[in-house]
Structure 1
Amino acid sequence: MVSSLAHVSDVIDDIASCIRSANTKELSKYFSSTVSMTLLNDEGIYSRVQAEIILRDFFGRNTPTGVKMAHRLDSNPSFRYVVLNLETSKDTYRVSYKLTNNENTFQVTEFRVESVY
């Protein structure tokens, strides 16, 4: 049981690390086949590839300078929820994502990027 919990923490940290480094190719490996995504004022359900392209464009315009964990819910065996504060060269954003347990693998099913006012 302990090793599976360690693995879950690694997934959360690995995704945060991908966001910090704007590595959308690696980030997309954690996406489910479709992702409900909200990016500022645009929202929709996208394929893994579409979601990666949208985020690559976002990070191309907003280079990350720092990421801080704001909230982490990882006690439920079926899902995880994470909120990060993302500082970029232009602005600060709140990034949140939900991971759902799919055949003992946590995959990102929801991903949101919102402006912090």
Structure 2
Amino acid sequence: MKKLLMVLGIMLLGGAFTTQKLSARSIEITVAGPFDDVVAALKKGDVSGLASYLDNNVEINIAGKSNSYSKAQAEIILKDFFSKNQVKSFELVHQGGDNSRFGIGNMTTGSGNYRVSFFLQKKGGTMVLNELRFENK
């Protein structure tokens, strides 16, 4: 009888630890920050996902043509770019920073390949996207 109770106790404890591990994993998966959200938006060519992080003024460089745009103008520029360049893949190859973050990746589109770099800067209590570069490879 003691052996049976001990086996049942171990099984119950094992189940409790498994449940806790699953809960911790689901939290990790659902919690994403601005950097990860921008990477995900670039992978999909999701202008809305990028627009939610755009600063009031954003520098955008597309194939050597660089300008500073308001948030509304930047969204139009990005919509135009992604409508002409449907994203097939985006691979992040380098990232860094603490208070400000940057990422560099390779983007393959239906009409060409680009080296993409982006910069997020802390502004107030949030991170904002203030520079995007799409350079022909």
TM over 0.5: yes
CA RMSD of aligned residues (A): 1.3
Larger Rg: 2
Shift of 1:22: 1.4
The corresponding residue for 1:4 is none
Paired amino acid for 1:34: N
Greater per-residue strand proportion: 1
Counting aligned pairs with the same residue, the percent is 28
Cα separation, 2, equivalents of 1:65 and 1:110: 22
CA contact (8 A) 2:107 2:116 kept: yes
Cα separation, 2, equivalents of 1:104 and 1:114: 31
Paired amino acid for 2:103: V
Cα separation, 2, equivalents of 1:35 and 1:57: 16
Please list every run of at least 4 consecutive aligned residues from structure 1 whose deviation after the TM superposition is greater than 6 angstroms: none
Q: Which runs of 5+ in 2 are unaligned?
A: 1-30
The corresponding residue for 1:20 is 43
Shift of 1:39: 1.0
Q: Could you say what secondary structure the match of 2:40 adopts?
A: helix
The corresponding residue for 1:115 is 136
Cα separation, 1, equivalents of 2:60 and 2:84: 18
The corresponding residue for 1:3 is none
Deviation by residue 1:11-68 (Cα, 9 ceiling, x = unmatched): 1121111112111122111011000111112111101111111111111111000010
Q: Which runs of 5+ in 1 are unaligned?
A: 1-6
The correspondence for 1:53, drawn from 69, 73, 76, is 76
Q: Could you say what secondary structure the match of 2:45 adopts?
A: coil
Deviation by residue 1:63-109 (Cα, 9 ceiling, x = unmatched): 000010111103x2x21011111111121101111111011211011
When normalised by structure 2's length, the TM-score is: 0.73
Paired amino acid for 2:65: D
Greater per-residue helix proportion: 2
